[in-house]
């Protein structure tokens, strides 16, 4: 019988487990005695991550291949995971604004991965958790979704959609005792940001993973990471529209 509270022995599903943030988060969970289900497209890389967790922490983890945009496979995928106590959705895709605004297929790919796939799989998880009246959900959004910026508004809009989805899901599941945490990182030093210039407050995956873990543990509604982003985005959201459209952000 699995514990009903957040802690050692809980079985956590990490979706998109090969991403930089997800790998750091898997190590954070393993360090605290969680059991893990690692889900992603690259089975060989998942095996490497699994072996690393076993050597470092003696952690037990299962591997299940998962395709975010194969929507029809999501119900069977969820069933194959067995009983899950919590899920953290870490997959995502970021193309440049120039690519997305000039090529619909590029923009559509971001929408499908970042928003549609998130809603598809988490609807299934939410229904299961609501029925069992237990569980926790972490959803990786971004500070880019807090306000539309001309330099990345298509990517940002997918994350704004995720944040709104998470807020509604949180309200729906609260009476059943299921927590939903929206995670809003700033730029993180991973493959997704490699080669991009002038990234403010660039954070390590380990720092972000630690903040996520603490936020999930205390059932926070929203986690900004690093923490200064909460103040920065709060101030930016106060800028009036007439001035915002003249900014260079």
**pLDDT, tens digit, for every residue of 105-141?**
999 999 999 999 999 999 999 999 999 999 999 999 9
Q: Which residues form the catalytic set?
A: 155
DSSP for 188-228 reads: BSSGGGTT----TT-B-HHHHHHHHHHHHHTT-SEEEESTH
Question: What DSSP string runs through 161-181?
Answer: HHHHHHHHHHHHHGGGT-EEE
Mean pLDDT, the chain, whole residue set: 93
Can you give the pLDDT at residue 157? Answer: 98
CA dist., res. 136 & res. 2, Å (int) = 14
Measure the N-to-C terminal CA separation of the chain; round to a whole number of Å. 51
What CA–CA distance (Å, rounded) separates 22 from 2?
Answer: 23
Note the residue count of the chain.
249
Q: How many CA atoms lie within 13 A of 20 on its CB side?
A: 16
Q: What is the CA radius of gyration of the chain?
A: 18
User: Is residue 4 over pLDDT 60?
Assistant: no
Residue 207 CA to residue 223 CA, distance in Å, equals 13
Q: Tell me what pLDDT residue 194 has.
A: 42
From residue 47, give the alpha-carbon distance in Å to each of 18, 40, 41, 206, 218: 10, 11, 11, 20, 31
pLDDT digits 0-9 by tens, 193-247: 444 455 667 889 999 999 999 999 999 999 999 999 999 999 999 999 999 998 8
In tens, the pLDDT along 75-105 reads: 999 999 999 999 999 999 999 999 999 999 9
175 CB contacts (<8 Å, ≥6 apart)? Answer: none
For range 158-177, the mean pLDDT: 98
pTM of this prediction?
Answer: 0.92
Residue 177 reports pLDDT greater than 90: yes
Provide the CB-side half-sphere exposure for 190 (13 A, CA): 22
% of the chain with per-residue pLDDT over 70: 94
- The model's confidence at residue 2, banded by pLDDT at 50, 70 and 90, is very low
Tokens of 105: 């297929």
């Amino acid at each position: 019988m699995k514990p009903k509270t957040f802690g050692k022995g809980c079985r956590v599903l990490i979706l998109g487990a090969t991403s930089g943030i997800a790998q750091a988060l898997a190590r954070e969970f393993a360090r605290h005695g969680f059991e893990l289900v690692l889900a992603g497209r690259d089975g060989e890389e998942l095996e490497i991550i699994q072996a690393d967790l076993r050597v470092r922490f003696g952690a037990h983890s299962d591997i299940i291949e998962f395709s975010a945009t194969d929507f029809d496979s999501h119900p069977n995928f969820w069933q194959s995971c067995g009983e899950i106590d919590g899920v953290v959705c870490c997959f995502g895709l970021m193309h440049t604004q120039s690519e997305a605004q000039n090529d619909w297929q590029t923009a559509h790919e971001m929408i499908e991965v970042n928003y549609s796939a998130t809603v598809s799989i988490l609807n299934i998880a939410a229904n299961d958790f609501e029925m069992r009246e237990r569980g926790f959900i972490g959803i990786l959004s971004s500070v880019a979704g807090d306000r539309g910026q001309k330099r990345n508004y298509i990517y940002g809009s997918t994350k704004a959609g995720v944040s709104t989805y998470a807020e509604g899901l949180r309200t729906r599941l609260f009476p059943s005792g299921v927590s939903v945490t929206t995670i809003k990182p700033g730029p993180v030093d991973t493959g997704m940001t490699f080669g991009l210039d002038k990234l403010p407050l660039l954070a390590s995956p380990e720092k972000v993973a630690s903040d996520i873990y603490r936020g999930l543990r205390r059932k926070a509604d929203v986690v900004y990471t690093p923490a200064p982003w909460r103040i920065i985005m709060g101030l930016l959201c106060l800028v009036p529209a007439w001035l915002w459209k003249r900014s260079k952000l």
